[in-house]
Amino acid sequence: MTPPPQFPEAARKKGLPPLAWAGIGCGGLALLAVVAGALLVGTCAKKGIQMASELTSNPAKAAAEHMVARHPGLEKIAMDDAAGRMTLLLKDSGETVTLGYPEIGQGKIPFKDAAGTLLPPGPGDLSKIPAWVPRYPGATEEHAVFHDEDRSRILGILTARTTDSSEDISKFFEDEATRLSLDSPSRSSINFNDSITLQLTFRKGKRELVVHAFGKSGDPLVIQTTYKETK
């Protein structure tokens, strides 16, 4: 009987099996994810350092921007860091004014009277500030920068100056927040390069209080207090 024909065994392909390549692929993706995560963390850290540097290198600018962000009657048009000035639109009158960062941060912003005359900034009507809003004891140059009340809410900004430390300011407002049963969801304090920036936020129920203090070490600190109460 003739034996069946013999076929040569197929040559094995050299290289790694498919499962190995799949493993390498997954490992490569994991490595890419790690690298991407590291880059993201590095970018966030860099931005955080940059923000802290801006706050400490120019606290007056930071306070001016904070004032404009909280004041519904103001809009930033332009800034000149070299001159330390900002151009603002006064929304109620349509006028534009250019003021220094410290003036804006302290709320020294001109306004129009009922006759439409642009007047220099004054202390405002301090009697309109709600009784529950804490006012720092012994502070000078108090300004009721803004106060507005309608059927749904009360909103206002108060500024003042003090020679006390940021720690004293923080303790006073934290004690007052406790007395008012307000929570403290955020707190930040930076003291670097002879610049001081403090921000506290308290809220609960219908009330909110945001305190921003800034200045140079050895100089009086400016306190911005923004209050809001819904009805």
- 14 belongs to a structural domain: no
Angle, CA of 166, 163 and 76, to the nearest 5°:
70
Query: What is the model's pTM?
Result: 0.69
The two three-digit tokens of residue 161, written as one number: 């100056």
pLDDT at 174 over 80: yes
Tokens 């050895």 appear where?
A: 218
More confident: 192 or 174: 174
Number of structural domains found in the chain: 1
Q: For the residues of 137-194, what is the DSSP string, one character each?
A: TT-EEEEEEEEEE-SSEEEEEEEEEESS-HHHHHHHHHHHHHHTT-EEEEEEEEEETT
User: Per the domain annotation, does 10 fall within a domain?
Assistant: no
Band (pLDDT 50/70/90 cuts) for residue 43 is: very low
Domain annotation covers residue 8: no
Is residue 86 in a domain?
A: yes
Q: How confident is the model at residue 26 (pLDDT cuts 50, 70, 90)?
A: low
Confidence of residue 10 (pLDDT cuts 50, 70, 90): very low
- Tokens encoding 109: 């912003």
Residue 15 lies in a domain: no
Q: Alpha carbon of 134 to those of 150, 157, 177, 204: distances in Å? A: 21, 12, 9, 15
Residue 123 within a domain: yes
Domain that holds residue 101: 59-230
Structural element, H or E, at residue 6? none
pLDDT of residue 58: 79
Assigned domain for 198 exists: yes
